[in-house]
Each structure stands twice: as structure tokens, then as C-alpha cells.
Amino acid sequence: MTDAVQSFAAANANPLLEAWSAPFGVPPFTRITPPHFLPAFERALAEHDAEIDAIASQAAAPTFDNTVATFENSGRTLSRVSDVFHALSGAHTNAELQAIEREISPKLAVHFSRIYLNSSLYQRVATLFEQRAVVGLSPEQGRVLERLHLRFRRAGAHLDEATKTRLKAISERLATLGTTFSQNVLADEQSYALVLDGETELSGLPEFLRAAARQAAEERGLAGKHVITLSRSSVEPFLQFSARRDLREKIFRAWVARGDGGGKTDNKAIIAESIALRAERARLLGYGTFADYRLDDSMAKTPSNVRALLEKVWPLARSRAAADRDAMQELIAEAGGNFRLAPWDWRYYAERLRKRRHDVEEAKVKPYLQLDNIIAAAFDTAQRLFGLSFVPLGNVPVWHPDVRVWEVIGEGGRHVGVFFGDYFARTSKHSGAWMTTLRDQEKLKGDIRPQVVNVMNFSKGADGAPSLLSFDDARTLFHEFGHALHALLSDVTYPSISGTSVLTDFVELPSQLYEHWLERPEVLRRFALHATTGEPMPEDLLRRLLAARTFNQGFATVEYVSSALVDLEFHSRAVDGAFDVTALERDTLAAIGMPEEIVMRHRPMHFQHVFSGGGYASAYYSYMWSEVLDADAFRAFEEAGDIFDAETAKRLHDNIYSAGGSRDPEELYKAFRGRLPTPDALLERRGLLDSPPVS
């Protein structure tokens, strides 16, 4: 049998290319295997090419329907194959999938470059754009056309053929680099384990962390021992509680050195090449730097506007962190220590400082934050705000036994969508937390309801015990669920503006805003129930926990803002040729006065937001830009006197959660709030306007 015949046979027996008969059209995950993907991609790419050629070559004059709407309707097979593949490659990968990812990523980049550099197709779109005022478009159609025209321009469709050829090559190479970067980070995380043997090495660790470490050891064939991994949900609690300073230093150094080991998984050369290619692309498109190019299509608009926000926050955060550092140094002295506070000490002594200032200990809070209860709290908040209910589904295929599924139902029993929750860390999963979709909402081809996925990396409870979260873990769950609601509640016609298809520095508004409800006593009183007794969190502990909400915000803000400033600096350079990534990181941090006791939340060598595909390249500031919005937005509920005020919730639904990218973000925000915000609410929420506390 020839290769072509084998490929044809595989494609025709391919579940990715069949009609999906599972409830709600969920992908048949239990039947999909890695060998199905390349034949499915091959067919899907060819199908999409044919659809694009038909649009670009038609003799009829361009209209919205025969050009833009038809373009929106194209590539459906490719979308569903890609969505399934990327869900698996992020949440449950293996060597076969990683090999496919390395092969298909540059092919996808070339494919989409070819589309957005297609001169004939661009000319049809450009003609419509020029006529947009007189062709009778609805507001949503006008927005779709505007965004499509901009995508072609930002791709370089208007440039000469030689430049377009180079732009295609750059896109292909960047796709390869991004995939390699991500896989290198995962490889470093998978290959490391801090094995703890005996009570001496477990000193200071609470039972919930011991149980998680015991299970991690058993999964690695090390029964009787304990293992701390480089998952954030494992390493951060260890740094917080371990009394063994030498072990804290050991795992901290491994954690911050991901992608920086000097061997085959070292990412420094990838970073240097990626930044140089991005800078070259920006120059070819007429911009001075990649940051100028990237931010031109954002709410911030310019690097100087981003710097203005970050530099307003930076000195306040640094001052607060310095005050906390001095207080922790005093704790070290009181305990007889004769060393200076180091980065691997910060979380350990911060826990003790929080105990002194607020009488709050993580080990006493965590039993009240059961995963199932926090999920229920997120669902209940969505019901009270938006009328949603969540019904467990046990009859749909999933990619791992730990994945949970719910049907989302709206008022009147209306089917809203399907929600998947994949909550636990495992070696087959990339680190971090994210939202993705298996299908987006749209109305172009019927009433298509979304299928939305939340992925976390929490520690699983051992031997059937409840999984317990830190307050930061619980906040992460609410954050990602806010993204999920943005996709679930979407109510637009066209796929390109559905759900989270908005500007990067607006996309974090729905997620970060949703975190506010977790921090309210009205929610915690109902759902913060003790894992053993079932009793609600005592009022005194609840009061102290919420009073401590801004504790250590100097540290958290320095971690974040330094990462955002380094990202911006890396991409604000007119790079031409190789440069020293480590030196640029060091020099940038020195220039802003980075406290030596704190390390960036994401060092460049494992900064996946920025270098694994580049979705947040020169845009990591977006979380803080959106936080300016979300801090002000929640005040609308506070001003209404009810955090579930129906009228305010309806404005929020109509103008933020359901609107997708159908209008300009500033217009959407003003429709909800009546005005744009200032950073004051952000600074107040983080406690950066208050005087540093006296210990």
C-alpha cells in the first residue's frame, strides 16, 4: 500500500473528520489517537485552501456576504481539528503529540500567512472597507469588516511580494521557536523532582502538603517518600512552609532556572532569535519596534502609555515590598538567624509575618477551601449574576479521567454550552492555568453553542481526601472561570468576534473582575466549609482573612510589574543580530531597582506568555491594564449596595460578558460604567496607597 493510499485510508477512518455523535457534539476523545491528527490536518488545510481560493478568485464584485461572511464561514474543519489538538497538547500531551506539534506548528503558520498575504483576497476586503459607509452594514458587520481589514494590514497584505515572502518565513520560524520553547519548559518541569526522605526533610510541612507530596512520590514509583515538583501548586507551598532553608534554596533555584540550564532545553537562543525576528517583522510593517507594532492594536496604543501605568505602580510596590522585607529581616534576627533574607526565604517568612500582623495561617485557612466547594461558589455566583445553572454530565467523552463536565443552562432551560474542568496537576500537562475552547459561540451557521475548558494545576487530594486550595488557588479558579463565562455568555453572529476574541488588554477584565466575588464574605460564608467538620469558617477567621487580603501585595506587584517591564524592554529594542538575553534581563532589572530578595514572576527563559507563541509578547502588562478596569467595575456593584444587583449585572452581561469583540472596548466599558476609570481603584485594591504597616 502506497503512502498516499495509507494516508487516504487513515483519513477516512478518522474520528476527527467524522460527524460527532456524542452529547452536544463533544469531540470523541476516547477514540482519538495521535496518528489521527496529521491526516486530519492535511485534509483540513487542503479544504481551507480551496475555500479561500474560491473567495479570492470569484468574478462577482465583493459584497459582505460573498467575501467577509464566506471568509468567516471557512476553515471549520481546520478549526475543530486544531481546537482538539491544542487542548490535548496543553493538558494531556505525550511524545507523539509533541512530535506532531513540532511538525504542524510551522505548517499552520505558513497556512495563515498565505491567507492574510493573499493579494486578491485582500483587495476584495479593502474595496469593501473603502465602501463601508455606503453598503448598509449592521454595527456588528462593520466591526467584523474593520477587524478583518486590520488583520490583513497588520499581516502585510499591502506590501510587495519580496517583503511578503520574508514575512511568511518569519511567521514559520517563530511558530517553530514558540513550540520548542514551550516543550523545553515542560521537559525541565517533568525531569525534576525534589525527593524528601524522612521527617527531618519534611520539617515544617503541614499535612495537606505532605499528602500531596506523598501522592506525587507514589506516581513516580517512590512509595514511602515524598516529592515536590516544579508545579507552582507544589513548589510555592513548600517555599511557604518548609523549615529546611537548604531545601528551599535547592528547589527555588531549580524553579527559576527552567529553560536556563545550558543544555538542550535551554531557551536563551530561542528568545534572542524570537525577539530579533519580531523586531524585523515590525520594521517590515513600518514600525520602529515590535512593541510599537504590538501595542498599536490595543487599548494602551503605545509603549509610553504602558510605561506610564507600570511606572506609576512600580515605586509604590517597591516601597511596600521594602517595608515587608525589613520586617521579615527582624523576624530572622529574633529567631537567631544571621543571614540576609533571600528569594527562597520570602514566602517562608511572609507566612510568619502574616501570622503576626493578621493572625492568619495558610494551614488553618486551607481546610476551609475545598476544591468542590470553590467550584460550587463560582457556579453559584454565575447563577446569581447571570441566571446560569450547571448540571453534571457523566456521558460525554473526556481526555483524562480527572476531567469533569457540566451542561450550562440559562433561564427558561435554554442550553448555553458545555463546560469542562481539568483541575489537577500531572506530568502530561503544561504548568499554569488557562481557558480554551473546543467550539466557539456563533450564529452564522445556526445557533452554535460553545464548549469551554478550564485547565488548572492543583494538587490532588491523596487517597480520596478532598483537594484543598490556597486562597490564591481559589482566586485562580475564579479567574479562569471568569474567562469561561466570557466565552459561554457570548452572543454574537460572527466567529471572529466571539467570546474572548477581544484586544489583549481587555480580555482579562471579565476574568479579573470575577475574582472580586470570591473575596466577599457573602460568598465565603456559604462555601468556605471545613473539609472534616463541614462547619463554616469562623467569623473571626473570615474577618482576619479578608483584612489580610492586601498583605504581601508589594511582593506580588513587584513580581508582576518587573516581568511586564522586562517584556516591554525586550520588545522595545531595534534588535539587529544576536544579543545576550541574560545580560539584558540583568541590566533591565538593575535599571528599575529590582529588589534582590524578589525574582520576577516569570523569568524570560520560562516566560510562556511571551515566548510560547507570543500571545502576550510586549503585552504582559495587560493584566494590570485590565485590573484598572476591573477594580473600577466592581465598584459599580458596591455603589449599588448589592454585589448581585440585577440591574448592574444586566449591564455587565450585555456590555462585557456577552458582547465579545463586537464593539471597541472603550465603548463597551463606557456602556457598562458610564466612563473610563483611573488607576486609583487599582492602587487602593492592592493596598498600595496605604502607609506601610508597622510590625
Residue for grid cell 465579545: 660
Q: Are strands 415-424 and 451-458 parallel, antiparallel or unpaired?
A: parallel
Dig out the grid coordinates for 343 from the structure: 528569594
Rg (Cα) of the chain, in Å, rounded?
25
Dig out the grid coordinates for 397 from the structure: 467523552
Residue for grid cell 486578491: 120
Neighbours of 102 (CB within 10 A): 14
Instruction: Answer yes or no: are the C-beta atoms of 313 and 624 closer than 8 Å.
Output: yes
Pairwise CA distance, residues 357 & 351, whole Å: 10
Count how many Cα atoms sit within 13 Å of the Cα of residue 477 in the half-sphere of its side chain: 30
Q: Is 361 marked active-site?
A: no
Quick one: angle between helices 504-518 and 665-673, nearest 10? 30
Residue 160 CA from chain centroid, whole number: 36
In the three-class reduction of DSSP (H, G, I as helix; E, B as strand; rest coil), residue 278 is classed as helix
Pairwise CA distance, residues 209 & 207, whole Å: 5
Catalytic residue among 51, 72, 480, 627: 480
Among candidate residues 468, 507, 243, the one with its CA nearest the CA of residue 371: 468
Pairwise CA distance, residues 155 & 161, whole Å: 13
Q: Write out 104-131 in H/E/C secondary structure.
A: HHHHHHHHHHHHHCCHHHHHHHHHHHHC
Residue for grid cell 456563533: 442
Question: How buried is 21 (Cβ within 10 angstroms: 0-12 exposed, 13-18 middle, 19+ buried)?
Answer: exposed
Active site residues: 480
